[in-house]
C-alpha cells in the first residue's frame, strides 16, 4: 500500500496533496488531474479514483468500481498521450475503458464489453487503435479499427495474422513503426515494421537460449527502440536499436565483479519427450570444463503455471553453482506459454498433470543424455513452482537427490476453498473451482499436501515468509509436518521461515543474497554427501 505525493518539477517544491492507501502508480490526464487505484482486503485493485491537485483527497471521485472478484484493474496513459485507459482483467478475460486526456472530468467509455475468454490489449494510434487479440486466434493476432469502431468487431481489420507455430506476445507502437514481440520454439524474436510501406526487419541474437524484451519506451515520436537482452552466459544488457538504420548500440551491461569470463561457460538447448509423445525444450548451462559424462550434479528448475514462460536469464548468484561443477537446466514445461498458447492450455485445469509429467520427463532425459549424475539430480521451484516440486516428489520421490521449494503453493484444495484469501477467486480459471465436484477431485489428485505417503523422500528445503499474503506461511509449514510424519528415509526435511519477508522473499540486496546462499548451501551439501 502506497501514499501518493506530488512534486513540482519546475520549482522542486513538494505539494501539500497526499493520497493515502493507494495501490501505487497513477496516470495523468492533464497537469492537474491524476487517476489512481486502491485495493480491497484481498489486495485486489478494484477501484479507480480521480484526484485534482489542490483538492482534499477525501473528496476524490470514484470513476470505476470492479465488482467481479475475479478481476483486478489498473490505470495508465496511452503512449500517444491521447487517452487515460483503465485495464481490468481476470486470468483469461480483459476489458478496457477510455477517457480522452483533454476531457479529464468526463466519463470513461468501454472499448469493447468483456466477453469471457477474450483477451486483448489496445494501442492507440492517431485515427484508431491496434488490438492484440485472441479472438479467433489462440496464439493471438494483431488487428486495427477506427477511433469509433471498437465496439463493432466486423469493422476490425487484420494487420498480423494468427499462426499456429508463433505466439504474438506484445506490441510496441510508435508514430512511424510497429514493433512485434513474437515467441517461436520457446524463444522471443523482435520484428520491426515501418508503417509507411510495411518494410520489415528482425533483430538478430546469437545465443542458443536467451531472452529479449522491449524496455521502457515512453516517447511516441522516435525511431529509437530500447530493448533488453540476456542469456545464461550474457549479463543483462540494454540496447538502443535504430529502427531506420537497423543498428544496435549497447547502452549498459550488468557489471559482474571478480574474474568472470563469459567464454568459460556454454549454453545449449535439448528436448525431452513427455509420456504422451510431446517434445519439451530444456535450456542448459555449465562450465566448458565440466564434462557431460553423467557425473555432474544438476539442478533442474521449473514453474509451469499461469502461462508464464521460463526465461534463460543470466544470474550472478548461479555462477557459484556452476563454478562448483553443477549443471543448471531450465525446463520449459506445459503450463507456461513457452511454445504458444496451446502449451499453456495443455498444462492447466484438467490437463494440469502434464506439467508434472513433463518435468519428470526432463529429469529422466538429462540423466539419459549424461548431463546429470543419476544420484545427484536436484530440483527447485517457487510459489506455483513449489507446487510443481511437491507434486513430482510425490510422483517420483526416488528420481531426486534433493529439492528446494520456495514459498510453495502445496495445499491446493484447502486454499482454493477459502475465498477470503488473497488471489483465490482470481485463480479459478487456472486450477478450477473446488466447489464443483469434478474440479475438487481433479485438484485433490495432485495437491502435494493431500498426496504425501509413506515413502523415502529426498532431502528437502522449504522456505516461507511470515508475511506472505499469497501463500500463507502455515501452508508450507503443515506440508513439512506431514512429510516428516511419513518420511521413511533419513534425508532431512527442513523448513526455513523468514520472519520479516513476504511472498517475494527478503527485501534488500544483501538479505536476498543470504536467502540464495541458504538454498545453494543446502544443494551443495547434498551433492557432496
- Catalytic residue, chosen from 411, 429, 468, 519, is 468
- Catalytic residue, chosen from 237, 305, 503, 519, is 503
Cβ neighbour number for residue 115 with a 10 Å cutoff: 13
Q: Give the closest residue to 292 by CA, choosing from 392, 408, 373.
A: 373
Q: Which residue has the cell 528437502?
A: 460
Report the DSSP beta bridge partners of residue 404: 380, 461
Q: Give the closest residue to 478 by CA, choosing from 445, 452, 506, 459.
A: 452
DSSP-assigned letters across all residues of 456-485: -PPEEEEEEETT-SSS-THHHHHHHHHHHH
Give the C-alpha separation, 423 to 443, whole Å.
17
Give the C-alpha separation, 227 to 438, whole Å.
45
Instruction: Specify whether 309 is catalytic.
Output: no
Helix, strand and coil in the chain, % to nearest 5: 20, 35, 45
Q: Which residue has the cell 491521447?
A: 82
The residue length of the chain stands at 529
DSSP 3-state assignment of 521? Answer: helix
Give the C-alpha separation, 54 to 57, whole Å.
9
Strand ranges for 348-400 from DSSP E: 377-382
Instruction: Specify whether 468 is catalytic.
Output: yes
Q: Which residue has the cell 503512449?
A: 79
- Catalytic residue, chosen from 383, 411, 429, 447, is 383
Strand ranges for 332-412 from DSSP E: 377-382, 402-406
Cell of 306: 499461469
CA distances from 317 to 250, 311, 321, 383 (A): 24, 16, 8, 20
Which secondary-structure segment (H or E) carries 267? Answer: strand 265-273
Which secondary-structure segment (H or E) carries 437? Answer: helix 437-446
Distance of CA 494 to the CA centre of its chain: 27
Instruction: Specify whether 503 is catalytic.
Output: yes
**Active site members:** 383, 468, 503
Amino acid at each position: 500500500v502506497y501514499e501518493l505525493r506530488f512534486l513540482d518539477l519546475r520549482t522542486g517544491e513538494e505539494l501539500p496533496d497526499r493520497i493515502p492507501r493507494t495501490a501505487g502508480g497513477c496516470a495523468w490526464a492533464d497537469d492537474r488531474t491524476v487517476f489512481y487505484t486502491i485495493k480491497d482486503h484481498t489486495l485486489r485493485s478494484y477501484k479507480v479514483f480521480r484526484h485534482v491537485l489542490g483538492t482534499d483527497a477525501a473528496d476524490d471521485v470514484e470513476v470505476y468500481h470492479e465488482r467481479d472478484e475475479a478481476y483486478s484493474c489498473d490505470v495508465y496513459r496511452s503512449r500517444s498521450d491521447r487517452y487515460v485507459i483503465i485495464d481490468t482483467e481476470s486470468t483469461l478475460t480483459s476489458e478496457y475503458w477510455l477517457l480522452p486526456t483533454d476531457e479529464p472530468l468526463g466519463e470513461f467509455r468501454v472499448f469493447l464489453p468483456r466477453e469471457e475468454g477474450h483477451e486483448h490489449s489496445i494501442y492507440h494510434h492517431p485515427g484508431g487503435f491496434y488490438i492484440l487479440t485472441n479472438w479467433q486466434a489462440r496464439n493471438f493476432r494483431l488487428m486495427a479499427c477506427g477511433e469509433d469502431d471498437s465496439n463493432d468487431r466486423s469493422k476490425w481489420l487484420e494487420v498480423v495474422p494468427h499462426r499456429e507455430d508463433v505466439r504474438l506476445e506484445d506490441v510496441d507502437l510508435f508514430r512511424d513503426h510497429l514493433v512485434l514481440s513474437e515467441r517461436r520454439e520457446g524463444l522471443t524474436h523482435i520484428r520491426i515494421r515501418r508503417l509507411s510501406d510495411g518494410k520489415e526487419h528482425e533483430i538478430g541474437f546469437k545465443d542458443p537460449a536467451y531472452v529479449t524484451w522491449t524496455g521502457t519506451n515512453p516517447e511516441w515520436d522516435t525511431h529509437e527502440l530500447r530493448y533488453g537482452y540476456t542469456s545464461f552466459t550474457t549479463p543483462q544488457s540494454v540496447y538502443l536499436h535504430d529502427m531506420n538504420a537497423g543498428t544496435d548500440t549497447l547502452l549498459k551491461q550488468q557489471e559482474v565483479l571478480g574474474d568472470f569470463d563469459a567464454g568459460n561457460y556454454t549454453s545449449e538447448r535439448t528436448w525431452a519427450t513427455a509420456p504422451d509423445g510431446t517434445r519439451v525444450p530444456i535450456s542448459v548451462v555449465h562450465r566448458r570444463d565440466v564434462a557431460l559424462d553423467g557425473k555432474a550434479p544438476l539442478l533442474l528448475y521449473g514453474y509451469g503455471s499461469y502461462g508464464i514462460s521460463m526465461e534463460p536469464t543470466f544470474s550472478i548468484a548461479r555462477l557459484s553453482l556452476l563454478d562448483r561443477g553443477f549443471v543448471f537446466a531450465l525446463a520449459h514445461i506445459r503450463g507456461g506459454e513457452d511454445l504458444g498458447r496451446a502449451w499453456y492450455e495443455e498444462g492447466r485445469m484438467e490437463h494440469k498433470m502434464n506439467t508434472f509429467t513433463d518435468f519428470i520427463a526432463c529429469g529422466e532425459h538429462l540423466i539419459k543424455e549424461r548431463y546429470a549424475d543419476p544420484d545427484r539430480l536436484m530440483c527447485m521451484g517457487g510459489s506455483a513452482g513449489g507446487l510443481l516440486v511437491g507434486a513430482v516428489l510425490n510422483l517420483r520421490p526416488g528420481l531426486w537427490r534433493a529439492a528446494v521449494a520456495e514459498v510453495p503453493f502445496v495445499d491446493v484444495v484447502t486454499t482454493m476453498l477459502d475465498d477470503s484469501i488473497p488471489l483465490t477467486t482470481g485463480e479459478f480459471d487456472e486450477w478450477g473451482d473446488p466447489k464443483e465436484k469434478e474440479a475438487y477431485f481433479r485438484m485433490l489428485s495432485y495437491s502435494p499436501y493431500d498426496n504425501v505417503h509413506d515413502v523415502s523422500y529426498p532431502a528437502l528445503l522449504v522456505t516461507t515468509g511470515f508475511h506472505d499474503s499469497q501463500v500463507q506461511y502455515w501452508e508450507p509449514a503443515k506440508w513439512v509436518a506431514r512429510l516428516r510424519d511419513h518420511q521413511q528415509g533419513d534425508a532431512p526435511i527442513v523448513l526455513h521461515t523468514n520472519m520479516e519477508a513476504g511472498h517475494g522473499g527478503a527485501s534488500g540486496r544483501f538479505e536476498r543474497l543470504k536467502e540464495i546462499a541458504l538454498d545453494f548451501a543446502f544443494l551443495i551439501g547434498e551433492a557432496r554427501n
